[in-house]
Amino acid sequence: MTDNGKVTNIFLSGVGGQGTILASNILAEVFLGAGYDVKKAEVHGMAQRGGDVTTHFRFGKKVYSPLIEYGEADFLLSFELLEAARYINWVKPEGKIIINKQAILPPAVSLGQVEYPGDIEKTFRKHFKDNVWIINGQEIARELGNIQAANVVLTGAFSNFFPEIKEEKWTDAIKVLLPTKLHELNAKAFYEGRKII
């Protein structure tokens, strides 16, 4: 555990059913296990109807509030392109962004009322340069046998930013939070994600 007093802010976003909350729970298991103080807050009111889901996740030696200040996220971990764009202004200029290359059409787009933005990747790269990773998590998860493991693929990629935490801590957290029948699949998803960054 580093002891510099710094609090790391991670903003997670996605659409209901993509496993945003599970990903934040994995992070909580890992960083609590590493000895950090952890705080998180979730918003998922319309998640079961395809609405957005967000989690404010913070860890450090001591964290006093679960909420990230606007523009202070060190990381944006997003499981859907539009849900990443929606929260771009929460990320600090030197922040790092990991996005699942998946577009889930909101109702207004499906009804033809508005168009889905076509330049989300370009927008992120314009503002954050080389600190952006667009990952085809659902395709990797599909090849492993279950598209629902895309969140764990991205979590695996994200884990590379914390080399002081051993891989086993992450896979142990997955085992704690998921049923036994899903352990092998999600461990594979984690390791495939870890290869990407």
Query: What is the secondary structure of 97-130 as a DSSP string?
Result: EEEE------HHHHTTSSPPPS-HHHHHHHHHGG
Contact 16, 48 (CB under 8 A): yes
pLDDT averaged over every residue in the chain: 94
Q: How much is the CA Rg of the chain, to the nearest whole Å?
A: 16
pLDDT of residue 151: 98
Calculate the alpha carbon distances from 20 to 3, 42, 66, 86, 157 in Å.
28, 9, 16, 15, 15
Task: Report pTM.
Answer: 0.94
Helices 137-144, 183-194: crossing angle, 10 deg rounding: 140
Task: Give burial (CB, 10 Å; 0-12/13-18/19+) of 179.
Answer: exposed
pLDDT in tens, 163-178: 999 999 999 999 999 9
pLDDT higher than threshold 60 for residue 3:
no
- Rounded CA-CA distance 146/80 in Å is 17
Q: Where residue 46 falls among pLDDT bands split at 50, 70, 90?
A: low
